[in-house]
Amino acid sequence: MPQLTPAKNRSRRHHWRHDLVELAALFTALATADLLANLVAHGPDGPVLLVASAAALLATAGFHTWWARRHSHSPPGPAPAAGATEPGTAALWRMRTTVRDTPGSLGAVCMALADAGVAILTLQTHPLADGTVDEFLLRAPASVPATALAEAVRAAGGRDTWTERADAHDLVDTPTRMLTLATRTALDAAELPLALRQLFGRCTIRSVPAAKDGSAPPEDSLTDTVMRLRDPSSGTITVERAYLPFTPTEFARARALVELDARLGVRMPDSKDVLTLPEGNEITIRRAGPEDLPAARAMHERCSPATLAQRYHGPVPDADRYLTHLLSPRFGRTLAVETASGRLVALAHLLWDGDENEVALLVEDDWQRRGIGTELLRKLVGLAVEAGRGSVYAVTQATNTGMVATMRDLGLPLDYQVEDGTLVITASLSASEVPSPAVVTSRK
């Protein structure tokens, strides 16, 4: 058996050989320089020889640099493992498929994905009466399309397969996601619809008010792509997902969040921003809720008919009906503005309208044109960004130049649509575009 030379000894001899070559090149350069110096000192062509000497030194230095870079002493990096995917050539996918509830069914699907070069990052199982729904988070080569993934799973026994692109947020495991959503729901009653939306991905959340006759809302129910949950604050929460039926496991998760909300009761973050207006008056901006109904009603009575008509696009025969809906945390988030004496002078609403988000402002006549509306709108935009919304829209009259100017002051991309005198202004949101709020003089 031939004797093997240790890699460490081979590397040491390899380094000595390179060092000897470099030293030889250096001594050659010195000898050449010495020879040329003697010729310069004793010969008639001194300047020419001096230039030639400089050129020789530069050539030798260049050769030394080239040799050092080509034969670096640093050890080579590890070779990529067989089958490894280079960065930027993989894609994340969410996949859901139904398999028979028999031994080996899930294993066959996993083997089919492995044969396609797909890595399974996470796996959840949703038991059904006639099978099991398996939900995967996959990392696949970019060259493998969704159709190929679905075909591989179908050939392995999967049915009703659904796939969509995933992102880094989907790498969070389900228990961690549930705890995070439960924490957000516990801190703010307005978070429940948003938590349900984040839990189920692309879906539509609607809060239906309680019946006017006082009858109890229907019991919780699940029908394919629609689940209905009793709202702890009265009414019904409807969650609809058109592209994928809900499973009993998902239904149970939703009911757990709603039950947590019911046990904790009405709650809102107790934070207040105290701002100083240009004329020196201080106002307080805070979250508003159902307990502010009397003060909001009184503010409505102080507003002129023209101001109310611009806000509600017509006469307001029953302010209570509007305010009860607007102040409910289930339909969005409301900000209130109070004076130093505690008087309510403005309301701002961010309303969840299915997949869209409406913003609306009402400022008492005597407090208009002081920058309150602009500041409130900036805060509503910030709340929409925190909730992961991509846009907000305002519905107003085409003659309401104040609202148009307030939307423009945001500095965001705007889209205008006019129909029968009604103007809809949509602002596109992104984290890099959200305007900074006004300076806060104090925060409690």
Pick the CATH number of 272-443 from 1.10.3720.10, 3.40.50.12780, 3.90.660.10, 3.40.630.30: 3.40.630.30
- The answer to whether domain 90-171 has CATH 3.30.70.260 is yes
Predicted pLDDT of residue 214 = 67
Residue 74: its pLDDT value, please?
Answer: 40
Q: How many CA atoms lie within 13 A of 198 on its CB side?
A: 23
Distance between CA atoms of residues 336 and 286, nearest Å: 5
- Identify each DSSP E strand in 132-276 by its residue range: 132-141, 159-165, 204-208, 221-223, 226-230, 236-240, 272-276
pLDDT at 396: 87
- Cα 373 to chain centroid distance, Å, stands at 27
Beta strand pairing status for 272-276 and 422-428? unpaired
pLDDT number for residue 198: 81
Residue with tokens 């009259």: 397
DSSP designation for 408 = H
Enumerate the domain spans of the chain: 90-171, 174-264, 272-443
Evaluate whether 373 touches 404 at the Cβ level (below 8 Å): no
Measured between alpha carbons, how far is 411 from 423 in angstroms, rounded to an integer?
A: 19
- The CA-atom distances, in angstroms, between 362 and each of 271, 302, 333, 350, 402 are 21, 12, 14, 12, 11
Residue type, 334: T
Written as tens digits, the pLDDT of the chain (444 aa) is: 334 334 334 444 444 555 555 556 556 655 665 665 565 555 556 556 555 655 665 666 566 565 555 544 444 444 434 334 444 578 999 999 999 988 999 999 999 999 999 999 989 888 888 889 999 999 999 888 999 999 999 999 999 898 888 877 777 778 888 888 888 888 888 888 888 888 887 788 887 777 776 677 788 999 989 999 988 777 888 999 877 889 999 999 999 998 998 888 877 777 788 888 888 888 999 999 888 999 999 999 999 888 888 888 766 666 667 788 888 877 888 999 999 888 999 999 998 876 778 999 999 999 998 889 999 999 999 888 887 788 899 998 877 888 888 888 888 888 888 877 788 999 888 644 444 444 333 334
Q: What is the pLDDT of residue 76?
A: 43
Sheet holding 391-397, edge to edge: 414-419, 422-428, 391-397, 356-363, 344-353, 332-338, 282-288, 272-276, 442-443
